[in-house]
Amino acid sequence: MTEGATLADPARVDVRGELSIGNDLWIDVNVVFEGKVSLGSNVSIGPGCVIKDATIADGAEIKANSVIEGAVIGANAQIGPFARIRPGTELAANTKVGNFVETKKAIVGEGSKINHLSYVGDASLGRNVNVGAGTITCNYDGVNKYQTVLGDGVFVGSNTALVAPVTVAAEATIGAGSTITRDVADHELAVARGRQRNIAGWEKPKKH
């Protein structure tokens, strides 16, 4: 507190290692710091967060109940609530990783967003990428791990499975509900899903 942090309740913060801080921080209740943690200036950490062996740059906001381990969080990034940032994740400035998102060994470029309900692992994302809800990088075949690469400005529709190894080049768009197994070139639209059929006169099953 004497170094520039404001604590909602000093009795409910647990430091289990080495913590260095900038100025004008806000740390809410029941936050746990483990290992070596560095916090920049104007960082805000919500209640119930666990932060281990991480570097968090100026202006970042870590929302409630998020877990960050072995990661680098860029300036003005927004994390959570209920996000899990696993080792090897590097988030550039002005990125967003939202509620119920998990990342692992993910390099995320400036301005990119993974807003909700997604898993992004063993992946490299360029600048200003938008990852829709329910997107999964299918990085593990049961034996080996593979990379997913998304270029600058890629838009990934909701409920997409990216089957690694796969590359989606700059400014490409993935239609919602797609399973992508082949590379996508610059500015292409990729749609990989079953064709919808509407059956007229359909009668719902009835209870016997």
Reported as a single tens digit per residue, the pLDDT across 63-93 is 999 999 999 999 999 999 999 999 999 999 9
- Please indicate, yes or no, whether residues 1 and 91 belong to a single structural domain of this protein: yes
Considering only CA atoms, which of 114, 104, 32 is closest in space to residue 71? 104
Model-level pTM? 0.94
Domain end (from 57, 77, 99): 99
Known catalytic residue at 116: yes
- pLDDT for 3 beyond 90: no
Considering only CA atoms, which of 97, 186, 104, 95 is closest in space to residue 148? 104
- Please indicate, yes or no, whether residues 56 and 4 belong to a single structural domain of this protein: yes
Q: From CA 63, how far away is CA 19, in angstroms rounded?
A: 19
Domain that holds residue 14: 1-99
- Please indicate, yes or no, whether residues 130 and 69 belong to a single structural domain of this protein: no
Model confidence pLDDT, tens digit, residues 131-146? 999 999 999 999 999 9
Q: 116, 137, 150, 174: which is the annotated catalytic residue?
A: 116
Model confidence pLDDT, tens digit, residues 144-159? 999 999 999 999 999 9
* pLDDT at residue number 23: 95
In a domain, 32, yes or no: yes
- Please indicate, yes or no, whether residues 94 and 109 belong to a single structural domain of this protein: no
- pLDDT for 129 beyond 90: yes
Asked whether 168 and 151 are in contact (CB, 8 A), the reply is yes
Please give the C-alpha separations between residue 2 and each of 130, 168, 196, in angstroms, as whole numbers. 40, 48, 63
* pLDDT at residue number 64: 98
- Please indicate, yes or no, whether residues 80 and 110 belong to a single structural domain of this protein: no
- Please indicate, yes or no, whether residues 57 and 73 belong to a single structural domain of this protein: yes
Both structure tokens of 114: 């993974």
Mean pLDDT of 112-137: 98
Write down the residue that tokens 């190894």 correspond to: 165
Mean pLDDT of 109-116: 98
In a domain, 206, yes or no: no
* pLDDT at residue number 118: 98
